[in-house]
Amino acid sequence: MKNYVIKRIIFSIFILFFVTLIIYTLIRCLPASYVETMAMQLSTKPGAKPYEEWVAQLNASYGLDQPILVGYFRWLADFAQGRFGDSWRFTVPVIQKFKEVIGVSFVMGAISLVLELVIAIPLGVIAATKQYSKTDYAISASALVGISLPTFFFATILKLIFSVKLGWFDTHGLVGRNYAQLDAMGKFLDQARHLVLPIATLTIVSVGSLMRYTRTNMLEVLNADYIRTARAKGLSEGKVIYHHAFRNTLIPLVTIVGGSLPGLFSGALITETLFAIPGIGYTSYQAMTAGDIPFAMFYLSFLAVLTLAGNLISDILYAVVDPRVRLS
């Protein structure tokens, strides 16, 4: 197992190298160039140098006069040494900006993931055990509704009902109007209140697919021969389902949950934008449209690392729940 993990990590580093190379190339080829926008602005000032001179000067100072490959290896050298540089768009160190915005996205992602698991798995199991009953139809139909609803539409509906009509929550923002006057507890509650609708949106929109996945897997397991054996032993129905069948249903679920690790940090661009929450999704979008290479590179490589780590973790978890894939 240890050797396997080491081998996987070495492979991951290789993959990471190529992934970052591709990302860097793509970003350099984007039509959105920070330098060109800057040069345009600077050259319109009275008595300024012409646009071409500004472009040449800025390109030299930002290191964009180099070919893509050279630029990539320079970035890689810095990245490997932990120098992530300054964000061009936000004019602060990348790390500082990242730390500012990741918190709220992570909290949103983590809470909605936990809610998803807590809601989807039991409901999926219930739907499977009562296949073709009214309960099953109700659960499956609501799962389908959840999957089909686009985020922007559902978020707007929630806002209309709970903010405009009922007035329970604010329509947008992370803090209320009188946030500054509140004590620590009040501040916490105020933020929590502002996160209710975004988290509800995230959860409901993504809970459906996990629920259907659980249902399908559970159905498959319930029709397996070993479930009949378990029943033939005289075990109670509850024991058959929650002990014998559930352990087997967990196997495919683990891959899904392991794969959702990067989702915790990637933020939710649409939801964050709709609710005007300054999270990582919204920030990275801004950085990318402005051609902010250091921030975009940091964010995307970070996600690549997390995706690889997520895969590794789900493989390890796989071995934990399924003895058949345990490697000696």
Partner 1 sequence: MARKKAEGYLSGKESRRISKENRKTTNILEKKRKRKNVPESEYLTKMHDPANAVEFDNLHTYFFTDAGTVKSVDGVSFEVPVGKTVGVVGESGCGKSVTSLSLMQLLQRPQGQVVEGEIRLNLGDKAVDVAKMPYEAVQHLRGNFVSMIFQEPMTSLNPVFRIGDQLNEVIELHDGEGKSKEDVKKRTIELLEMVGIANSEGVYKMYPHELSGGMRQRVCIAMALACNPKVIIADEPTTALDVTIQAQVLDLLRNLKDKINSSIMFITHDLGVIAEMADYVVVMYAGRIVEKGTAEDIFYHPAHPYTIGLMASKPVVGKQVDKLYSIPGKVPNPINMPDYCYFKDRCEMCVEKCGGEYPCEVSISPTHKVSCYRYSDGQTPDAARNTEEKKGGTAS
Shortest Å, Cβ 234 to partner 1: 4
Q: Give residue 89's identity as a one-letter amino acid code.
A: R
Shortest Å, Cβ 27 to partner 1: 45
Give the C-alpha separation, 131 to 36, whole Å.
60
User: 47 or 323, CB closer to partner 1?
Assistant: 323
User: 94 or 222, CB closer to partner 1?
Assistant: 222
Residues 120, 257 contacting (CB under 8 angstroms): no
User: 182 or 316, CB closer to partner 1?
Assistant: 316
Give the C-alpha separation, 109 to 257, whole Å.
13
User: 7 or 247, CB closer to partner 1?
Assistant: 247
Give the C-alpha separation, 5 to 11, whole Å.
10
Residues 161, 279 contacting (CB under 8 angstroms): no
**Which ranges constitute the DSSP H helices of the chain?**
2-29, 34-44, 51-62, 68-80, 94-129, 134-148, 151-158, 184-222, 225-232, 237-239, 246-259, 261-266, 269-274, 280-289, 293-321
Residue showing tokens 């949950």: 257
User: 115 or 251, CB closer to partner 1?
Assistant: 251
Shortest Å, Cβ 143 to partner 1: 22
Shortest Å, Cβ 121 to partner 1: 17
Residues 218, 130 contacting (CB under 8 angstroms): no
Shortest Å, Cβ 224 to partner 1: 7
User: 61 or 236, CB closer to partner 1?
Assistant: 236
User: 96 or 229, CB closer to partner 1?
Assistant: 229
Q: Give residue 253's identity as a one-letter amino acid code.
A: L
Shortest Å, Cβ 243 to partner 1: 9
Shortest Å, Cβ 325 to partner 1: 10
Query: For residue 93, what are the β-bridge partners?
Result: 86
Q: Give residue 239's identity as a one-letter amino acid code.
A: K
Give the C-alpha separation, 32 to 293, whole Å.
10
User: 99 or 243, CB closer to partner 1?
Assistant: 243
Shortest Å, Cβ 253 to partner 1: 13
Using DSSP's 3-state secondary structure scheme, residue 179 falls into: helix
Q: Give residue 121's identity as a one-letter amino acid code.
A: I
Residue showing tokens 């500012």: 100
Which residues contact partner 1 (rule: CB under 8 A)? 224-226, 228-237, 244, 247-248, 251, 321-324
